[in-house]
Structure 1
Amino acid sequence: MSSLSTRRSADSVTSLKIGIAGLGTVGAATIKLLHAEPTHGGSGRNIEVAAVSARSRDRDRGVDLSGATWFDDPVALATSDIDVFVELMGGAEGSALKSVEAALAAGKAVVTANKALLAAHGMHLVTLAEASGAPLLYEAAVAGGIPVIRTVRDGLAGVPIKSVLGILNGTCNYILTRMENEGLTFDECLAEAQRLGYAEADPTFDVDGFDTAHKLAILSSIAFTTELRADGVSVEGIRGIEPADLMAARELGFRIKLLGIATMTEDGVDQRVHPTMVPLGSALAETSGVTNAVSIRGPAFGELVLSGPGAGGDATASAVVSDLTDLARGLAPTPLGRPTSALMPFKKPEAGGHRGAFYVRLPIADRAGAFAALAQRMASEGISLEQIVQKTPHRPDHLPPLQEQTVVLVTYTTDEAALKRALKAIADDGVIVRAPHVIRIAQTL
């Protein structure tokens, strides 16, 4: 780690003056933490909230802002007489982007919790930081209160990493946990998550996997010293998961989790977000509710698992304050672990390269020969089936019988591309009445 600007050295008696843009849950929690203990981490230097900016001045946020200068414009705050600009507004564009750009161009240190901003503009912002010599820290952007960024960037610096994977979105984990434990539908659990504040009014970002993808792209860049590329992540969310899938997973010895998985391969960095069946008893399978967990694997150290609160005001604020404490100590880590000139170009493996076992739920037409046609298409692609089970859903006596049956297949290890070809052929044959649902199976974790 390099020394922060000599303008205000770490052993100076002057305060580290910060400006916070965004006074929502995380912003207010950050101020509370700083007011409770202005001098953090034994730096001997006071961290002073000198200025703030938010959409409304009149809202009661439960914190004392009397000592801070108010700015209506976060860009003006970013270039004011502060040492550190703390961006907690959120969003990949607009004021968040403009204010961070302005702060870095002016040589101000930046601390942010904004994964969407970093995923969309990370390389641009890191380049700006390098040009001006301004630190850019973002521990709070991934997995909330879990110190995964500094673990990968600093604790494992120079150590080869094979893969980074984990549960990176508490909303999805909460929904899947309740669906399994209580037999509720996705829609029922989502509504409850929204009521409790775990999910936004528009939950797309969370439940369709994009939040996890942004976090995974950031972790992947640091772990594999490649350019940060969120557009290189294949993304699938959890909307298609049904209680029947969760029950089948348990019968097979698994639990379904939405995982972000980044793996270094000979052909490039494979980055994927999708529901995965993970073995019961594994650390990830036992991570429930809104908790996050990250598994880091490498040939020299085996596996390192970090678990803890992945979201929430206090957890995220603790990561923001941790970054501020580093700056108060005079520490300014390189944003991606090494200069951009030393990063490898990002390369995504060709589509269809993934191999593994798969769970497939197919709604098939209730007619003679359907099973045989299904098995024939699988065999034609060289796909061996470990299990094939017909699931007959319970129907009350007063309802007419269904004109379809549900068939669950479990494959042995096969190519994903081959499975997709087989399922397309099955659909073209008219054997299935709706799109099949496919979930990858992690045999070991």
Structure 2
Amino acid sequence: MIVPSLPLDVVLLAVAAISVVLFALGVPLVLSFGLWVIAFYFAVPGFSMANVSITAFSELESFTYIAIPLFILVGDLFREADISKDVVAFSRACLGWLPGSTGNTVIGTSAIFSAITGSNAATTASVGQALYPSMKEEGYEPGYASATIAAGGTIGSVLPPSIMLIIYGVTFGVSIPDLFIAGIIPGLAMVVILVGINMYITEKEGYGVDTDAYSFEARNVAETAWRAKIGLGAIVILLGGIFAGIFSPAESASVAVLYILITAFVTGRMRTGHDVVEAGYTSLVLVGVLMPIIVIAVLVQQNLAYLDLQDVVSNAILSLGSDWLVIVALIGVVLIAGLALASIPNVVLTAPLLTPAALEIGLDPVAWGVIFILGDAIGFITPPYGLNLYIISGLTEIDYMIVAYRVLPFLGGLLALLVVLLAVPEVNFLV
């Protein structure tokens, strides 16, 4: 033991407090929570340090995890091939004729980027670079323009092929295709809600250009869709192959990578192997960051299970009695966890604590998975963490608190969707 004279619970609480403080001070999560994991194995009799390597190997040997770097690579190739302007043109053709033209285009482009990259952060950064200058030129208040882009980025966590849904499915043994199917309606609902809020605000504030400059024309939609064929074709391959049962998520991502490479070289968007290496390098770096976090999060989850903390939290929530009070508690914990934790540790650490209570009130495991990921996504635009807010604030050089204030209407709309899905899940999921 670390300190034989002290009770085990005191030792673990002390180390947990130190880990939390280190995390709050900016120490990488792998190191701060890794300290707690190592201390646990030293303090608890009968636990071998060998379990760290055994768990790491057994967790990462899952074939499904291969999909994660491949999905990241799809997004990087998408960026390297400079496909974004064609997707923007297609989104504008579909949504630009509505009030709030460019704001709607931001949200539509975010949905398409999400279906290609599966990442909220990548979506926020890419759409911000592509469309923030246009929004600023068209008279959108800079804080509101930034907030719209940050809100659009949340779609990437829920709309398939979400990387977070893959991690949730692998971690908890839930069918990933089922999670993808279940994420379609909530993901599209997010798009509709965000577009509706943008239309109302832009009309009220007089932002943007006169929408008479744009009109909905089927021919224009078809022409821009053809120009955006690389990106849209990748979506068809990614989702079509999975939903049709032809490919697993990893196989579908592999075919999508091959498709983008072939079409990008044939059309001259990529000319040398150096472009591929550049895209692959970014993917490798991100995988190197993600995988250790997954392992540490799983180890922490195992330790919490040993301490029966999952049952304690679940019983405490269920003791509230009323299903509505349980729903309020679930929403509260999901949102608070989303404020403080990054997505992967939040999924692996928080979800096991809440899942027993969610299932006890009748939620389907697949539906609950999507609901949890939606709650986690809302954390991306909620201070003090608000990853998307930080990304767009750094990109546009708009003060973080200004963006956080202007994102509140979008935040309210997504919170309303979360409440509806928890209260009436059976009408919102194809499960």
Under a length normalisation based on structure 1, what TM-score does the superposition of the two structures give?
Answer: 0.23
Which protein is richer in helix relative to its size?
A: 2
Q: Which has the larger radius of gyration?
A: 1
Which protein is richer in strand relative to its size?
A: 1
